[in-house]
Amino acid sequence: MSNHSRKYSSRVVDGNARAPARAMLRATGFTDDDFHKPQVGIASTWSNLTPCNMHIHSLAEEAAKGADGAGGKSVIFNTITISDGIANGTEGMKYSLVSREIIADSIEAVAGCEGFDGLVAIGGCDKNMPGCLIALGRLNRPAIFVYGGTILPGVNHTDIISVFEAVGAHAKGDMKAIEVKQIEETAIPGAGSCGGMYTANTMASAIEVMGMSLPGSSSQNATSENKIRDCQQAGEAVLHLLQQNIRPSDIMSRPAFENAITLVIALGGSTNAVLHLLAMAHSVGVELTLDDFSRIGKRVPVLADLRPSGHYMMSELVDIGGILPLMKMLLDAGLLHGDCLTVTGKTLAENLAGVQPYPDGQAIIRPFNNPIKPDSHLRILYGNLAPGGAVAKITGKEGLGFTGPARVFDSEEETLARILDGTVQKGDVVVIRYEGPKGGPGMREMLSPTSAIMGKGLGKGVALITDGRFSGGSHGFVVGHITPEARQGGPLAMLEDGDIITIDAEHNRLEVQLTDSVIADRLSRWQPPEPRYRRGVLAKYARTVGSASYGAVTDGHDNAH
């Protein structure tokens, strides 16, 4: 190994003065030989509280074998995870986006303290992945991300979103309680991340095309031999990265982020990708803005017929070759930067050179001449309701515009109750405010309300706008990430029931039919609500988090605003 391969661990274990450190490490299993090897931290997000992460400890052990076999010394350590699927619709969901920062901070803290020379990070749920990448970007040591893999479908092609939407169907009277229970019992068959092109699969795909995962890592089933090999090979590959001194800042370039945006659009991915890619770019000092999503979105079509808006699941895409053939299609069409460096030590184009096309007759990935949508489903909206920007997920199936009277709610819980009891009617624009990063605090996902809307058969008859965010499983006419958020005195704060709101996804506008003077007058009389939390992690988050339009980061970008 070259000298720079032990740049950090040598400071911890070399020399007579470091005998106490070596003594501690000997108790954990280190030998004399191990002190001369590069140390590779294996950041595991294992937890038995969610199927997304319940298998990750065994994957971490496989990555450790790979690193040890390639001449390194692996050290497995843990970070936290939470479960959006469990917490959605409750107060606990306020901790979800907060956990992204805790994960990033904890990995950075452990690796920085212990002197790991390289890292493998293994994530399986929504916030694990960007949290891991933020940490790897900040540390800027040779590193690889491994995705824990997707879950298999439940009985009758069901998944977690099927359960959420069953709740709405029951409220409408279309489903009996026993039928809801049957779906509940069979929709989640085992380990792996939620099965559609929801946030986990979206972010895994984005990270792979960005070059921070080995080819194929993002489109493998969680319980498969391919996933075991992926982990072993990741452990080995970190040693090659150490030899070549290839770091995340060499890989996570602006063109690499543009590649990520391109693939997310082609896959019809989650709105959360906007929030997370902005935060990941911030971690390595790359300038990325909301307008980059609009610029790239004008030339990239939606090609994947995947849930939630489409028909298929990630495991079915895995069966026909995963995302690599799609990446090759995009590269050949001139839509990806092929010269970007990746964790293989090769460029993206070199990695894709031998990739074969999808089999004839498959219906999951459309050809360019028959897209699901000719341009992006992720629309960045501006207007007098969103002067700082907002993010809409418009596949085209919902239409491209919506105008209706506001029905205003100050929390997710109140909204859900009024959807289920029939207060929300066809034609309404549901407004959920005070759910932003500071206002929630925590910027909860509005999966329960959007699923209830779909379950009640109002998917094409109701729009929903919020300063909160959405699950990757949300679909319908929805706009989130509205900035400035209501808690900060954004225009959302002055809306009243009956105000006429227009969402225009062709011209990318979000407007209320009020004059500037009326808006200003209402805001002049507005008083911010009392903080919902005054101590603890949520209070600290509310004080430090910045705008969603900059990724809702807590370490300096736009935090004063």
Instruction: Give phi and psi for 383, each to the nearest 5.
Output: 150, -175
Asked whether residue 292 is marked as a ligand-binding residue, the answer is no
Strand partners, 150: 193, 221
Query: Could you tell me the CA-to-CA distances from 536 to 94, 343, 529, 542, 553 in Å, in that order?
Result: 13, 38, 19, 10, 18
Looking from the CA of 266 toward its CB, the CA atoms found within 13 Å total: 28
| Helix ranges (DSSP H) in 497-546 | 516-524, 537-544
Instruction: Give phi and psi for 164, each to the nearest 5.
Output: -60, -45
Contacts of 126 (CB under 8 A, 6+ apart): 84, 96, 198, 199, 200, 203, 272, 472
Token code pair at residue 8: 């950090």
> How many of the other CB atoms lie within 10 Å of CB of 305?
18
CA-based max dimension of the chain: 75
Tokens 């400071």 — which residue?
11
Asked whether residue 445 is marked as a ligand-binding residue, the answer is yes
3-class secondary structure, 465: strand
Which of 544, 556, 461, 551 is closest to 271 using CA atoms? 551
Which of 533, 548, 426 is closest to 482 using CA atoms? 548
Asked whether residue 127 is marked as a ligand-binding residue, the answer is yes
CA angle 169, 175, 181 (to 5 degrees): 100
Asked whether residue 84 is marked as a ligand-binding residue, the answer is yes
Sign of the four-CA dihedral 372, 375, 430, 439 = positive
- State the Cα–Cα distance between residues 415 and 407, nearest whole angstrom: 9
Q: Are 230 and 216 in contact (CB under 8 A)?
A: yes
Token code pair at residue 368: 């360019």
- The amino acid at residue 115 is G
Residue in 471, 474, 547, 549 annotated catalytic:
471
Q: Are 429 and 503 in contact (CB under 8 A)?
A: yes
Asked whether residue 194 is marked as a ligand-binding residue, the answer is no
> How many of the other CB atoms lie within 10 Å of CB of 294?
18
Which of 171, 482, 455, 198 is closest to 315 using CA atoms? 198
Which of 366, 415, 423, 424 is closest to 395 using CA atoms? 366
Residues in the chain: 561
Is 106 considered catalytic here?
A: no
Strands of 118-123's sheet in order across: 73-78, 39-44, 118-123, 143-147
Annotated binding site for Mg(2+): 84, 126-127, 445
Q: Which residues belong to the active site? A: 471
Annotated binding site for [2Fe-2S] cluster: 52
